[in-house]
Structure 1
Amino acid sequence: MAPRIGVIDSGGPAEDLPGGRAFLPDGTSVAPVPDRLGHGTAVAQVLRRAWPSVQLVHAQVFLDRPVTSSAQVAAAVSWLGDPRRSGGQADIICLSLGLAVDRAPLRRACIAALEQGVLLVAASPARGEPCFPAAYPGVIAATGDARCDWDQVSVLPGGVFGAWCGSPERGHSGQGGASMATARVAGLLAVMLASGHIGPASAWLRARASFHGVERRVAQE
């Protein structure tokens, strides 16, 4: 069976939305609307490039602006990680986002999903203060590394994984950065699951790492 990836983001095009939910600031959830920001659509494109038959489920937490709350994200994680959910529990949850403050509901939702065996992949800043849920134990933290081509991954300080990120240094234009790197790492994990790998996902990523340590960029002439 193709891996199921829950995408917590701004949604996707209309044809991608059946089975998804939109989580609102007032604590309710409704049917999602087509992506108005383009971010969730770009994340989905990276995931499908990694594994074309992947099953995507959109949990929409952004609508007209790239602003959400820990409560919305927590509700989305709980829904995707629920084994009773219609359509089945997500194997991987991709969170190409980060929140500045650790909130108990989000922490509890992530712990519960991890205990159910769900892999959580979340964006981590290349520099600066930690963000959540990437900083929670057990969550796979991802950020962009311009050294990495499509098939490469790096291990950075603090156990953060670097990956392809649509870097303009490699001639890419459009969406990029830690958001796309998070999608790329989630896509790699989809390949891992589809191959039947058994064992810690972090160990699998480390074993295939092409680079270790701080990203060092070579000045362009």
Structure 2
Amino acid sequence: MAVVRRLTVGIVDSGGPPDTMADARAFFAEGCGPAMPDRLGHGTAVGAIIRRAAPDARLHHAQVFDDRPITSADRVARAIDWLSADCAVIVLSLGLASDRRVLRQACKAALARGCSLVAASPSRGGPCWPAAYPGVIAATGDARCGWPDLSLLPDGVIGAWCASPEHGGTGMGGASLAAARVAGHLAAGFAEAGSDPFQWLAKHARHIGPERRLAAVPAR
């Protein structure tokens, strides 16, 4: 009998609750070590969204935040390198203001391994990384989207549910939770998504632009 492997989703964030952290790793300014329980609550929220979307998925945490939401391109890059060894999907509910070679190379290597990378892309301000890299799925919050919905926005950004007040959300919200939701869509439909997850997400978009339904999927 063939053994069916559980799909693994890597989470680059602040960690998770203690019962999910046995296999987690923390990436420090220098080196790495055992992860601590989540002190910000953000990684826990991201994990809960993915678990709700894909209950059978295995979650693998890489901790790059300590007690403040501040990290570096090097820490994130090392987390991606580590997770890409066994994760089909990696979600980065974060964005860095500058393009850094070490981060760009880590993303390129993970994509070459067949990992799907989903990263937060805030709707305001300039580009952020890793969402701006080719091949990385950029995700942002779209208040039109309920839990099951997706949208296709300009520049190939995928919009999704983001715990917005329009849908009863309180507390955390925005692009970071939308990235988690998009990763959850992928985790739930990974067998269907095949080798082009962006096209699969775009094909299932309920909205394109401000009002129109999806008519054609642009190349990205």
TM-score by length of structure 2 reads: 0.92
Of residues 29, 34, 37, the one that matches 1:31 is 34
Contact 1:93 1:121 survives alignment (8 Å): yes
Quick one: structure 1 residues 93 and 107, their matched pair in 2 at CA, closer, same or farther if it must change by over 3 Å?
same
The root-mean-square deviation of aligned C-alpha atoms, in Å, is 1.3
Match of 2:196 in 1: 200
Is 1:77 matched with 2:80? yes
What is the percent sequence identity of the aligned residues? 55
Quick one: structure 1 residues 22 and 157, their matched pair in 2 at CA, closer, same or farther if it must change by over 3 Å?
same
Distance 2:92 2:195 in 1: 22
Any idea what SS the aligned residue of 1:94 has? strand
Is 1:120 matched with 2:117? yes
Distance 1:9 1:198 in 2: 26
Contact 2:186 2:193 survives alignment (8 Å): no
Match of 2:71 in 1: 68
Of residues 39, 43, 47, the one that matches 1:40 is 43
Work out the number of aligned pairs and report it: 208
Contact 2:92 2:119 survives alignment (8 Å): yes
Is 1:7 matched with 2:11? yes
Structure 1 stretches of 4+ with a deviation exceeding 4 A read none
Contact 1:154 1:209 survives alignment (8 Å): yes
Is 1:150 matched with 2:147? yes
> Could you tell me how far 1:214 is from its partner in structure 2?
4.3
Match of 2:214 in 1: none
Distance 2:139 2:192 in 1: 23
Distance 1:96 1:23 in 2: 16
Is 1:20 matched with 2:24? yes
TM-score by length of structure 1 reads: 0.91
Match of 2:101 in 1: 104
Contact 1:145 1:162 survives alignment (8 Å): yes
Any idea what SS the aligned residue of 2:81 has? helix
Q: Which runs of 5+ in 1 are unaligned?
A: 83-88, 216-221
Contact 1:123 1:141 survives alignment (8 Å): yes
Of residues 179, 182, 188, the one that matches 2:176 is 179
Q: Which runs of 5+ in 2 are unaligned?
A: 212-220
The one-letter amino acid of 1:32's match is A
> Could you tell me how far 1:172 is from its partner in structure 2?
1.2
